[in-house]
Homo-oligomer: A and B are copies of this chain.
Amino acid sequence: MQTTFRPLTRAQQARRQRVIDAAMDLGLEGGYEAVQMRDVAARAGVAMGTVYRYFTSKDHLLAATLVRWVELLDARLAQQPARGNSPDQRVLDVLDRALRAMGRQPKLVAAVFTSLSSPDPGAVECQQQVTVLMEGIVTRAIGEPQPPDLGDRARMIGHVWYSALVGWINGWSTLARVYGELEVAVGLLLPRELSS
């Protein structure tokens, strides 16, 4: 139980990061089941107790891994702005790039997304962070001209993104199908008329 909220020392930051990296490594090859807490601890060079000091559960750890993953994605996307000369095109461009990135590491993405929907309080915090990041990505891609109810539309696209992705992760949909759903959503939520 951490009573006083001292900021993490440099060494602690590093330890925490090592744990996340270890989880990423393991998840990359074997997915959710391959991320075993004993292995994570061993690979990160810390004791199990330490892992549980930083993360309340396996799901929290994996959800935190997703946050890191999306942050990296966000940075990459921000570097190269969305292509397209209307909001709908730009949004689809960005989402397409995001899905491609996921397709390159399907096991890891499946693992961390599965954890993202866990009711664990630690994981819930990460859910919110991911939501915020995604809304930012979509909002940035919409750019100008801003449609009315910008926030609402971005949030709805976020909902479709999440829900459709769950279908892929659980294996009864494909990335192409997810992209199709997003096309439909963008088509209905960001109609061309708005950009004229």
Write out, one digit per residue, whether chain A residues 126-167 have a CB within 8 A of any chain B CB (1) or not (0): 011000000000000000000001001101101110111011
Least distance between A87 CB and chain B CB atoms (Å) = 14
25 contacts between A and B (CB under 8 A): A114-B118, A117-B166, A117-B170, A119-B169, A119-B170, A121-B171, A123-B170, A124-B171, A124-B172, A127-B172, A149-B184, A152-B184, A152-B188, A155-B184, A156-B156, A156-B160, A156-B185, A159-B159, A159-B162, A159-B163, A159-B164, A159-B181, A162-B163, A162-B166, A188-B188
Pairwise interchain contact B189-A188, C-beta atoms closer than 8 A: yes
Q: Which of A37-67 contact B (CB under 8 A)?
A: none
Could you list which residues of chain A lie within 8 angstroms of chain B, going by C-beta atoms?
32, 110, 114, 117-119, 121, 123-124, 127-128, 149, 152-153, 155-156, 158-160, 162-164, 166-167, 169-172, 181, 184-185, 188-189
Question: Interface residues of A: mostly helix, strand, loop or mixed?
Answer: helix
Chain B residues whose C-beta falls within 8 Å of the C-beta of A152 in the assembled complex? 184, 188
**A156 surroundings in chain B (CB, below 8 A):** 156, 160, 181, 184-185, 188
